[in-house]
Amino acid sequence: EVQLVESGGGLVQPGGSLRLSCAASGFTVGSNYMNWVRQAPGKGLEWVSVIYSGGSTYYADSVKGRFAISRDKSKNTLYLQMNSLRPEDTAVYYCGGLNPQQYWGQGTLVTVSS
Partner 1 sequence: DIQMPQSPSSLSASVGDRVTITCRASQGISNHLAWYQQKPGKVPKLLIYAASTLQSGVPSRFSGSGSGTDFTLTISSLQPEDVATYYCQKYNSAPLTFGGGTKVEIK
Please report whether residue 40 would count as binding partner 1 according to CB under 8 A: no
Strand partners, 58: 50
Backbone angles phi, psi at 24, to 5 degrees: -110, 145
Q: Measured from the CB of residue 91, what is the shortest distance to partner 1 in angstroms? A: 13
Distance CA 96, CA 105 (A): 6
Whole-number minimum distance, CB 13 to partner 1, in Å?
28
Residue from 58, 72, 84, 113 in contact with partner 1 (CB under 8 A): 58
Provide the minimum distance between the beta carbon of 111 and partner 1 in the complex, in angstroms, as a whole number.
18
CA distances (Å), 105 to each of 65, 86, 90, 97, in order? 25, 23, 18, 9
Among 24, 50, 85, 110, binds partner 1 (CB under 8 A): 50
Number of continuous H segments (helices) and E segments (strands) in the chain: 0, 11
The contact set with partner 1 (CB under 8 A) reads: 35, 37, 44-47, 50, 58-61, 94, 99-102, 104-107
